Amino acid sequence: MAETNDLTTGPIPGLIRKVAVPASVGFFFYTMYNVVDTFFAGEISTTAIAALSLAFPVFFIILSVGSGLSVGGTALIANALGEGDKDQARKIAIQGLSFGIIAALVLTIVGLSLAPPLFRLLGASEEYLSICLDYMNVIFCGSVFFLVVYMTNSVLQAQGDTKTFRNFLILGCVLNCGLDPWFIYGGLGVPAMGISGIALATVLIQAVGCCYLLWRACRSGLLSLRYPKEFIPNGRAFLEIAKQGLPAAVNYMTIGLGIFVITYFLSWFGETAVAAYGIATRVEQIVLMPTIGLNIATLSIVAQNNGAGHLDRIRETVLASLKYGALIMSLGTILVFCFAETMMAVFSDDPAVIGAGSDYLRIAAFVLYAYVVLFVITASLQGVKKPMYAIWIGLYRQIAMPMAVMYLLTRVLDVGLDGIWWAIFTITWSAVVVTVAYAAFQWRKISSAHVPAEEAPAVPPE
């Protein structure tokens, strides 16, 4: 492995910045990409933007599987590299790509079949349902491009390369600014497609990303397309990838299911509430964007150092990431609380949407750092091959508690729409308390079993 990709040596703060800054810049453009989609959906109609918001939890299932498998691939490849076993890292990279393609085909078939009843369950009917399906049917047909992008990025990310994905996200954002209006309104031989045009632009950009990231991953030496037989599924390799990646995928999927739950309760308050939440979460994404790189840096650095047996560097990485996150989110909290209405007004001129979204943002401003703590600690557990906790905290935070607390506040106590916003606040911070306690428990177990790095094997998987 090239020296520039070795995360087991050198000052931890410098390594965090090296990995996190390009990743955060990339996710800024990814968020801007979503903002562009939201903006042009709003130009079509309020129903279109509500449909895009309603479609997001379904779309998020694809992103969940891709993100989870990517996290698992990154952890396994980085651990192998930390151990000095490049052949094993290469095997995981190739089988991971094969796993991703198969998962994408399953998602396409299942998604096209189940999307209509899912949207009906969320309250969509007639034109509302039709617009949701127009968007998601195109996305499902392009699932394979999303999964290939995620799996090739895991190969690069495991080596500390976050610049390649950053470059793709910048290019994708620029292309989206041109393709969205072109495909929505038509012209130059392209028919007007409405919201389907937004989906088609997304799929085409992912296809471009496949080509670019595959090229870069092959150049890294850990991936090769020359020998098709190497992509034949290997049961043992698939099991290893599944054990590490599927818990992360389920964790991400609980976020999507959590959005289903929130959207279900929001639908009782009408399209305005759904649209307001959709816009407000985009604002949250923008503010949280600088800390996304901390999660990626934590995973990559912790995983390589776990493979190398450097326990002290693992602890230093987690604490440094939490410190950086606290500094960044202090500013984010102030900005969101003070300028909530201004931020909402960028995406909608509907006073009701602006008002409801602003109420949420003023409460959400004080939840921002909670997300940082949850994501950094979960990433560190992934890095030391302890992925299962992510599932349980995801089920707690995204499904079990929201169903109970939101029902209590909105239906029993009749608090109204604000009850949903305060439920999110309470549930998220309670999850932080549980997560910190669990991480401290795991750290004591790992520390008590630790021996000097030159004698110690990697922390065993669960």
Task: Write down the pLDDT at residue 39.
Answer: 83
Task: Write down the pLDDT at residue 5.
Answer: 66
pLDDT score of 219 more than 70: yes
Q: Which two tokens stand for residue 94?
A: 């190739």
Confidence band, pLDDT 50/70/90 cuts, at residue 4 = very low
Confidence band, pLDDT 50/70/90 cuts, at residue 140 = very high
CA distances from 295 to 21, 24, 394 (A): 11, 10, 16
Comparing 28 with 210, which gets the higher pLDDT?
210
Crossing angle, helix 368-383 and helix 235-267, to 10 degrees?
170
Task: Write down the pLDDT at residue 449.
Answer: 66
Comparing 256 with 44, which gets the higher pLDDT?
44
Confidence band, pLDDT 50/70/90 cuts, at residue 394 = confident
Which tens digit of pLDDT belongs to each residue from 148-169?
999 999 999 888 888 999 999 9
Average pLDDT over residues 398-418: 90
d(CA 100, CA 70): 9
Confidence band, pLDDT 50/70/90 cuts, at residue 1 = very low
Task: Write down the pLDDT at residue 73.
Answer: 87
Task: Write down the pLDDT at residue 457.
Answer: 42
Task: Write down the pLDDT at residue 460.
Answer: 40
pLDDT score of 214 more than 50: yes
Task: Write down the pLDDT at residue 208.
Answer: 95
Average pLDDT over residues 99-125: 86
Task: Write down the pLDDT at residue 2.
Answer: 37
Instruction: Give me the phi and psi of 327, to 5 degrees please.
Output: -65, -45
CB 203 within 8 A of CB 139: yes
pLDDT score of 243 more than 80: yes
Distant-in-sequence, close-in-space partners of 68: CB < 8 Å, separation ≥ 6: 245, 246, 247, 248, 249, 250, 251, 252, 253
Task: Write down the pLDDT at residue 461.
Answer: 43
Which tens digit of pLDDT belongs to each residue from 422-442?
999 999 999 999 999 998 888
Give domain limits for the chain. 3-449
Q: Find, among 207, 162, 122, 134, the residue nearest to 7 by Cα.
A: 162
> In degrees, to the nearest 5, what angle opens at C-alpha 395 toward C-alphas 249 and 52?
65
Confidence band, pLDDT 50/70/90 cuts, at residue 366 = very high
Task: Write down the pLDDT at residue 272.
Answer: 86
pLDDT score of 67 more than 70: yes
pLDDT score of 411 more than 70: yes
d(CA 364, CA 361): 5
Q: Find, among 422, 409, 278, the residue nearest to 354 by Cα.
A: 278
Task: Write down the pLDDT at residue 254.
Answer: 81
Comparing 64 with 420, which gets the higher pLDDT?
420
Comparing 430 with 457, which gets the higher pLDDT?
430
Buried b (16+ CB within 10 A) or exposed e, 16-41: bbbbbbbbbbbbbbbbbbbbbbbbbb
Task: Write down the pLDDT at residue 3.
Answer: 38
Distant-in-sequence, close-in-space partners of 307: CB < 8 Å, separation ≥ 6: 8, 78, 79, 80, 81, 82, 83, 458
Confidence band, pLDDT 50/70/90 cuts, at residue 373 = very high
Which tens digit of pLDDT belongs to each residue from 252-301?
778 768 877 888 898 888 888 888 898 898 888 888 887 888 988 998 89
